[in-house]
Amino acid sequence: MAGTPIFDQLVYLVGEVTIVLILGFIILSILVVGISFYSIRRGYFYLPRLVKSGIVATEGMAKGICKLLGLDDKEMTAFAIRLHNALNQSDFEKVPADRRAIFIPQCLRNAECPAHLTPEGIVCRRCGRCEIGSHVDSLEAMGYKVWIAPGSTLIKRMVKQYKPQGVIGVGCMIEVREGLELLDKANIIGMGVVTLKDGCVETLLNWQDLMDTAVLGIEPAEKETV
Ligand code: SF4
């Protein structure tokens, strides 16, 4: 078979298709990076659905292009999260508060937090050493189910058990990005809120960012509890 005209033509065809696919992938990556940065600079989402799919499909290559151009790929990740939130916002607004869940990372606690780990995550004792307690009260009063999560295993378990329709995930940029992708795959409407400071203990959150997301689509009477 090797060396026959048909075999040669087949190898040639496979080579051509491979080159076209690689070129297409590179062009798509450049387009995604270009449109994303233009959107970031202009503060407007251009071709949002196409860009979102492109970011997911070309992530590694897009990061490589960012590095090659000396661009900050963190900015690109932050943009992807903002874009994701913008695309999900109207669907999230339609989810009743009692079908929504919030996962707060345990690293936001005070280092001397007296709360204990339970099968449903860390249960806040409202000791006042950090801002979690008061905010959990407000969010639960709105109808939210809130967990302080020690890790992604608990999140996956609670999502499976309680089947929320909408989820707000709080965390560092990478955690939020990965979490939103998982929620997408599970057909759950996800919104991401990124912490101000990464780390393992006493990280920082602009709580207003979380509350602004939490009140989306909530009736005024329910908001008054915030
Ligand atoms: S308010 Fe809750 S989460 Fe914060 S330190 Fe106290 S018990 Fe821990």
Residues 148 and 199 in one domain: yes
Flag whether the pTM goes above 0.75: yes
Looking at the domain assignment, is residue 82 inside a domain? no
Looking at the domain assignment, is residue 93 inside a domain? yes
Radius of gyration of the chain (CA): 22
Looking at the domain assignment, is residue 142 inside a domain? yes
Contact predicate 80/88, CB 8 Å: no
Distance 168 CA to ligand 1 centre (A): 20
Residues 46 and 115 in one domain: no
* CA–CA distance, 106 with 170 (Å, rounded to integer): 10
- Which of 41, 71, 101 terminates a domain? The answer is 71
One-letter amino acid of 163: K
Q: Please indicate whether residue 129, judged by its CB atom, sits closer than 6 Å to ligand 1.
A: yes
Distance 134 CA to ligand 1 centre (A): 9
Looking at the domain assignment, is residue 114 inside a domain? yes
Tokens of 41: 């600079």
What is the structure's pLDDT at 11? 87
For tokens 């909530």, the residue is 218
Kindly report, residue by residue over 3-17, the tens digit of the pLDDT.
677 888 888 888 888
Residues 165 and 101 in one domain: yes
Looking at the domain assignment, is residue 77 inside a domain? no
Residues 96 and 206 in one domain: yes
Q: How many domains is the chain partitioned into structurally? A: 2
Segments of the chain assigned E as strands: 100-105, 116-118, 121-123, 145-149, 166-171, 189-194
Task: List the residue whose alpha carbon is closest to atom 4 of ligand 1.
Answer: 130
Residues 196 and 110 in one domain: yes
Q: Please indicate whether residue 82, judged by its CB atom, sits closer than 6 Å to ligand 1.
A: no
Looking at the domain assignment, is residue 167 inside a domain? yes
Residues 156 and 130 in one domain: yes
Q: Please indicate whether residue 15, judged by its CB atom, sits closer than 6 Å to ligand 1.
A: no
Q: Please indicate whether residue 150, judged by its CB atom, sits closer than 6 Å to ligand 1.
A: no
What is the structure's pLDDT at 118? 94
- Which of 37, 71, 105 terminates a domain? The answer is 71
Contact predicate 214/142, CB 8 Å: yes
Distance 210 CA to ligand 1 centre (A): 17
* CA–CA distance, 130 with 133 (Å, rounded to integer): 7
Residues 189 and 104 in one domain: yes
* CA–CA distance, 226 with 222 (Å, rounded to integer): 8
In the chain, which stretches have pLDDT less than 70? Answer: 1-3, 220-226
Looking at the domain assignment, is residue 76 inside a domain? no
Q: Please indicate whether residue 139, judged by its CB atom, sits closer than 6 Å to ligand 1.
A: no
Note down the domain range covering 112: 89-223
User: Which own/partner contact pairs does 42-50 have at CB distance under 8 Å and 24+ positions apart?
Assistant: 45/83, 45/86, 48/83, 48/86, 48/87, 49/87
Q: Please indicate whether residue 135, judged by its CB atom, sits closer than 6 Å to ligand 1.
A: no
What is the structure's pLDDT at 102? 97
Kindly report, residue by residue over 39-51, the tens digit of the pLDDT.
777 777 778 887 7
Residues 95 and 181 in one domain: yes
